[in-house]
Amino acid sequence: MTEENNFWRYGRQIHRGGAALILSFLLLHLTNHLVALGGVNKHVELMASLRLIYRNAFVEPVFIAALVSQIASGVYRVITTWRDRAGLVGWLQAISGLYIALFLMIHISAVMFGRIMGTDTNFFFAAAGLHMPGLPWFFAPYYTLAVWAAFTHPACALHWALSRRGHSGAANAALIAISCAGLALGLLIVATLAGFVVPVVFPPGYGVTN
């Protein structure tokens, strides 16, 4: 095996390992958002409990390192294989991966800045942009596409795995079902943040007038 092949093999292993960690957090994060269907207070309470895990002094640096590694390895892989991509699924995987990278860079920067400024980056921090004049035109697709991409990107990997085993029909069905589920969940989360599902009353400090 050549040195270049070794590089790609280890690069894929790092990317997949980081993906497993991030998907674990994503599962908790999406569950947190779904809890908001029972009221914003339930979301805030669950987040306070979950922060004991992912804001732990040992866990948070590892998680941030995984995010940085995931963004760097994913973008590098897309750039270096851009001309070799063919077919809808290949491009869908690349585009969804690039959007995830863009979203993470913006979202993590915003959260870190909020924390530095002393703002509690909870439900209200995420929802604020959907309650200010003009900003929903950005934040509604921004959040919706992020959830869609988070479902679609791994669904593409599942598609390739099933296709290699000769299950092309199941591969296509799984990709469509998972991608549509991500879009539906993204729309539901945005509707909840926007106050269409449960009442959203902002405490002082978020720049939103109720």
Residue 3 is predicted with a pLDDT of 47
The first and second tokens of residue 198, run together, are 């449960």
Over residues 135-156, mean pLDDT: 97
Range in 67-81, 151-165, 177-191, 194-208 with the lowest mean pLDDT: 67-81
In this prediction the pTM is 0.89
Pinpoint the alpha helices (H) of the chain: 3-35, 40-54, 59-80, 88-116, 123-127, 136-164, 168-193
Identify the band that residue 188 occupies on the pLDDT scale cut at 50, 70 and 90. very high
Give the type of residue at 11: G
Tell me how far apart the terminal alpha carbons of the chain are, to the nearest angstrom. Answer: 63
159-162 contact pairs (CB < 8 A, 24+): 159/89, 160/89
Going by C-alpha positions, the residue among 16, 44, 200 that lies closest to residue 120 is 44
pLDDT band at 170 (very low <50, low <70, confident <90, very high): very high
Which range has the worst mean pLDDT, 30-34, 65-69, 144-148?
A: 65-69
Residue 86 burial (10 A CB sphere; 0-12, 13-18, 19+): exposed
pLDDT band at 12 (very low <50, low <70, confident <90, very high): low
Contact 77, 11 (CB under 8 A): yes
Name all domains of the chain by residue range, CATH numbers in brackets. 3-193 (1.20.1300.10)
Mean pLDDT of the 123-146 span: 96
pLDDT mean across residues, the chain = 89
Residue entry with tokens 């589920």? 181
Distances (CA, A) of 199 to 7, 144, 183: 51, 20, 23
CB contact set of 82 (below 8 Å; sequence gap of 6+): 94
Decide if pLDDT at 87 tops 50.
yes
pLDDT tens digits, one per residue of 21-54: 788 888 999 999 999 999 999 999 999 999 999 8
Buried-exposed string 141-180: b where 16+ CB fall within 10 A, e elsewhere: ebbbbbbbbbbbbbbbeebeebbeeeeeeebeebbeebbe
